[in-house]
Structure formats: C-alpha cells, structure tokens
C-alpha cells in the first residue's frame, strides 16, 4: 500500500545506503535510486540533475525540468518493476544544503493568541501585521533533519528581584508546527520576485518544527526580535513534497483586510488544505489546519524579495506557527498552555506546559491522499 506515498506524491530525499548517499523518491515503504533508474532507461532530460550531491542540481534546474522528471517518474514507476530499496534499510539524510533560512509569522490566529498572552490589555496585533508578512532571518547552519536530538538550549532569562538576568537551561522550551518552502531557482539581486512567480522558484514543501526557547526569547526579543531563543535548532522532514503534488490541495485563504499593497495583491490569495497533527510522546495534542493561514506562500516570497534581496538554491522559508481558531488547533505549546498558565494532559495522565527532557515531538500532516514526511525530535538535557 502507498500509505499516502503513491505515484501522486513521490517526495524527493537523500538517503545513505551501503556506504553511499543516494538521491531518491519515496514510493510506499520503499525508495528508488534515481541515478540508477536513469542509468537503466533513457530519460528525456539530462540525468546529471539526479546525480547529486543532494537535491540541489534538480532544485536549480527549474520548473520545466521538474515537470518532465515528475512525468517520467510517474510513467516509469507505473509500468516497470524498478529496483526498490526498503525504507528500513536506508538512513535519511539532510536532503539539501540550506542556503538561507527565513521564518514568517503568517497565522492570524497564532499572532492574535501571542498578542493576547503577552499584551492582555492592549490590541493583540501590532499595527504592521495586517499590512506585511512579518518574519525574521534565522540560522541556516542549525536546520537539521528529522530525528536529530535537540539539546535543551541555555541563555539569559528575565531578571530576578536583584535586577540581574538569570542564566541557564531554558525552562520554557516550545515547538512551532510549520510548513517549510524550499527554493530551487535563484533570483537576481536587486530584482524582486513577483507575487505570481511562486511556482517558478519554489521546488517543494517540507514539514518544519521551529523549536523555541520562550523564556530566552522573551528577554532578548525587544527591540530586534528572535535570536538565541530560536537559532539553536530547526528540524525539517527529510522528504520534500513537490509543489506540483499539492496542486489539487490549493484553496483560497480566509480573506485579508485591509487590502494589501500592490506587490502583495492577487485576485485570490491561495494556500493549501494541509492538516497537521502535533504529537508529544504518542499523544495528539493539536491539529492545526494550514488552510486557516492569513498570508499566502506567494505573498511571503514576494515580500522576502521586494527590497531586492536575492534567492539562492536551497533557501528555506517557514510559514510560522500554524494555528486554527479552536483551542485544539493551536500549533505551539505557548498557546496550548496559554503562556504556561494552563497545563494540558497527555494520554498517560502526565501534564505539560512546555517540553521536558526526554519528550519526543512528532509533527505529521496530510493533504488529501498525500501524507507528508513527518518531522520528529527528542529533547536531551543540557
């Protein structure tokens, strides 16, 4: 059975097998070595794009090649007994080298909840939020593949009665359930990417967990924003779902008011009907819907480059925490525990506000018949 990894999906990845790293697609519970498949047939494209290292050559080749490769794979794998390698016999690797990492803040529900938690007597949204996709530039070097342990970060926290900041391991370690967008085709510095050009540049999507130390973040983020409270680790799935595989899942966003400026304006901003699950130690604690987002992936890309900043192959940008309007749709523990004041209960009867050492967090998602590759991490003590 395909279990959401059928011919309509075919996510790309890189795996280690018998001492070699292979560029592969996943089909059911197997992977297919793409260089090997190309060598045994006559593909209608330059097979060098499948030879590695990593997915970068294919990502940089552009949407015309992506479409030809995908059609060839669907036809070849449907009609042949291509050599398959069981998933259990390979070790997933980082699928591409991250060039730059930007994380957005594109959920109205999440931003409103955070505003209510931290500014209960003020307007939840700051004046700029409905006019532009707010974001920050993260650290590419700490983006890691699913399964990589996450060491509890340490840093400064808010001052105590003596006025001096505390220092030590974070006591408010959190997650953020997100969708990551992987850039394939670069752009020229000084030339903004238009809002209509998402599919010309974005190769695919991956589930992303933006681990967050809320106590470190709370002390450092004024006036310049997230830094050490975010930069210690960001986990992604090793499987990159092609953007084309999500075409049937495109849906209009709920609506934007006021109308965005011209460079962010389209007739109907579109997102994706992707349903996530956040799981802690086997307990489902949240089901965030990506279709509830305020800013679209195309708007985020346009805003990220409107000042002339260029794209590079391997750039990664995250949606920001995905949260729906209901309590059980909140994509961070900050929201689920309402700032640490309302513990929630796991299936084993234990309670959480933030993560404990040894906790394993798994984020998974589906889009119609497609199952995205999950992203997982376990907290290890400092």
Q: Which residue has the tokens 């497609």?
A: 370
Cα gap 46→48, rounded to integer Å = 5
Q: Where are the beta strands (DSSP E) in 214-274?
A: 234-236, 241-242, 250-252, 270-272
Q: Which residue has the tokens 């990593």?
A: 54
- What does residue 298 show for φ and ψ, rounded to 5 degrees? -70, -40
Cα gap 101→143, rounded to integer Å = 8
Which class for 358: exposed (0-12), middle (13-18), buried (19 or more C-beta within 10 A)? exposed
110 as an active site residue: the answer is yes
The two beta strands, 212-213 and 250-252, are unpaired
Question: In this structure, what token pair is assigned to residue 276?
Answer: 């996530």
Cα gap 311→100, rounded to integer Å = 9
Q: How many CB atoms lie within 10 A of CB 257?
A: 7
Sign of CA dihedral 261, 262, 267, 272: negative
Name the nearest CA neighbour of 174 among 222, 143, 147, 210. Answer: 210
Q: Which listed residue (110, 131, 137, 303) is catalytic?
A: 110
The two beta strands, 234-236 and 143-145, are parallel
| 47, 57 Cβ separation under 8 angstroms | no
| 74, 66 Cβ separation under 8 angstroms | no
Burial string for 286-296 (b: 16+ CB within 10 Å, else e) reads bbbbbbbbbbb
Cα gap 22→93, rounded to integer Å = 9
- The alpha carbon of 72 is separated from its chain's Cα centroid by a whole number of angstroms, namely 27
Catalytic residues: 110
């Amino acid at each position: 059975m395909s279990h959401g990894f059928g011919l309509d999906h075919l996510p790309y990845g890189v795996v280690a097998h018998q001492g070699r790293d292979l560029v592969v697609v996943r089909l059911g519970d197997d992977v297919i070595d793409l260089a090997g498949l190309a060598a045994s047939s006559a593909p209608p494209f330059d097979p060098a794009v499948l030879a590695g290292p990593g997915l970068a050559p294919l990502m940089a080749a552009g949407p015309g090649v992506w479409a030809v490769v995908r059609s060839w794979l669907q036809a070849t794998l449907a009609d042949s007994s291509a050599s398959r390698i069981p998933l259990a016999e390979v070790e997933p690797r980082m699928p591409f080298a991250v060039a730059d990492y930007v994380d957005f803040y594109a959920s109205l529900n999440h931003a409103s909840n955070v505003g209510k938690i931290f500014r209960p007597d003020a307007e939840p949204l700051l004046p700029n939020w409905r006019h532009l996709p707010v974001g920050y530039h993260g650290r590419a070097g700490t983006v890691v593949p699913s399964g990589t342990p996450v060491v509890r970060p340490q840093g400064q926290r808010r001052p105590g009665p003596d006025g001096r900041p505390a220092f030590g391991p974070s006591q408010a370690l959190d997650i953020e359930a997100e969708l990551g967008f992987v850039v394939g085709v670069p752009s020229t510095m000084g030339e903004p990417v238009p809002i209509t050009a998402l599919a010309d540049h974005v190769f695919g999507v991956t589930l992303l967990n933006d681990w967050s130390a809320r106590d470190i973040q709370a002390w450092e983020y004024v006036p310049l924003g997230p830094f050490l409270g975010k930069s210690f680790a960001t986990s992604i799935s090793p499987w990159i779902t092609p953007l084309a595989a999500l075409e049937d899942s495109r849906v209009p966003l709920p609506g934007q008011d006021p109308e965005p400026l011209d460079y962010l304006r389209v007739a109907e901003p579109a997102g994706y009907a992707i349903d996530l699950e956040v799981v802690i130690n086997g307990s489902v604690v949240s089901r965030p819907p990506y279709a509830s987002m305020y800013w679209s992936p195309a708007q985020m890309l346009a805003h990220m480059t409107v000042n002339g900043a260029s794209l590079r192959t391997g750039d990664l940008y995250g949606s920001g925490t995905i949260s729906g309007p209901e309590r059980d749709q909140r994509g961070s523990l900050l929201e689920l525990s309402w700032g640490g004041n309302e513990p929630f209960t796991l299936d084993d009867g234990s309670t959480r506000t933030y993560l404990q050492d040894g906790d394993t967090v798994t984020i998974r998602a589906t889009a119609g018949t497609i199952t995205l590759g999950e992203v997982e991490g376990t907290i290890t003590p400092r």
